[in-house]
Amino acid sequence: MAFDLNKNDGSVKDSGLKKSGSAKFDLTKGEGSNIVIETSTSKNWIIGLVGILCFGTGFWYYSSDSTIEKQEDITATAPASSGSTPTIAVSSKEASGGSVVKDTAQVMLQPTGQDKYLALLSHKTGATFGQGSSSFNKVDHSLIKNLIAYLTENPGSSIQINGYASSDGTLAVNQMVSQARADAFKKYLVTKDIAESRIVAVGKGIENPVASNHTNVGRKKNRRVEIALP
């Protein structure tokens, strides 16, 4: 918007005088330049805001990842509570993508010493017998090897041999047969260099059947000797 302040009411006609210049005031105040400045300032605010958001997102992601790794470390190294399966921490390893992978593996502790032999020997069948006989039908030789190893490692220990019978025949006969089976197995162990004084032989009759006495197969399984540890 401009105003012309030259007085020219038409009274002077072609005076030949040349005006040195017209006096005008431009009141637009550079509106176009202001618009450019304001637009540039808005862009700078947007760029700054995006930068802050990106920084905040990266910081949150890094903090979350570090928290997860710390929790995994605590879980992997925490001691096992009583009654739970023992665990050990596996060393960290790098996956194909370069990230660190942490894991735990559960390790079942194997029984040692006498506990190991209790699981291997106690109440296990050492031999089976024919009907009314104290002669072996079958002998578990691997069981005898473990028995010899147990007595060798525990020189102050002794064992008991329990003889059993099926329900065939009278109770008195079955008691006698079961004792004869226990004695026969004891003599066999003595031939394996086990001191006789470390073996106790007991006849149990028809007690503690491991199978049904109503079938022939079950009765065969009940004609046996078992090892008992103190």
pLDDT, one tens digit per residue, over 67-122 is 555 554 544 444 444 444 444 444 444 444 544 444 444 444 445 556 788 888 98
| CATH code, 136 | 3.30.1330.60
Strand pairing class (124-129; 136-139): antiparallel
pLDDT average, residue stretch 210-214: 96
User: Is residue 127 left, alpha or beta, with left meaning phi > 0 and alpha meaning psi from -120 to 50?
Assistant: beta
pLDDT of 14: 46
Count up the domains in the chain and report the number: 2
| pLDDT higher than threshold 70 for residue 210 | yes
Query: Are 165 and 218 in a shared domain?
Result: yes
- Which of the two residues, 12 and 125, has the higher pLDDT score? 125
177 inside domain: yes
Same domain, 220 and 147: yes
pLDDT of 69 reads: 52
- In this structure, the answer to whether residues 221 and 117 fall within a common structural domain is yes
Instruction: Tell whether 74 and 138 lie within a shared domain.
Output: no
Which of 72, 104, 136 is the endpoint of a domain? Answer: 104
State whether 55 and 146 are in the same domain.
no
4 beta partners: 24
Q: 191 is in which domain, residue-wise?
A: 113-228
Residues 56 and 127 in one domain: no
Structure tokens at 148: 């010899």
Do 208 and 120 reside in the same domain of the chain? Answer: yes
Residues 218 and 131 in one domain: yes
Tell me if 88 is assigned to some domain. Answer: no
Is position 17 within any domain?
no
Contacts of 107 (CB under 8 A, 6+ apart): 86, 87, 88
Give pTM, 2 decimals: 0.53
Residue 16 lies in a domain: no
Q: Does residue 91 lie in a domain region? A: no
User: pLDDT (tens digit, 9 = 90+) per residue, 137-183?
Assistant: 999 999 999 999 999 999 999 999 999 999 999 999 999 999 999 99
Orientation of helix 141-153 relative to helix 113-121, angle to 10°:
160
DSSP H or E segment with residue 181:
helix 171-190
Domain contains 26? no
Return the percentage of the chain with pLDDT > 70, whole number. Answer: 57
In a domain, 8, yes or no: no
Task: Report the pLDDT value the prediction gives residue 52, as an integer from 0 to 100.
Answer: 79
| Residue from 103, 104, 108, 102 nearest 86 by CA | 108
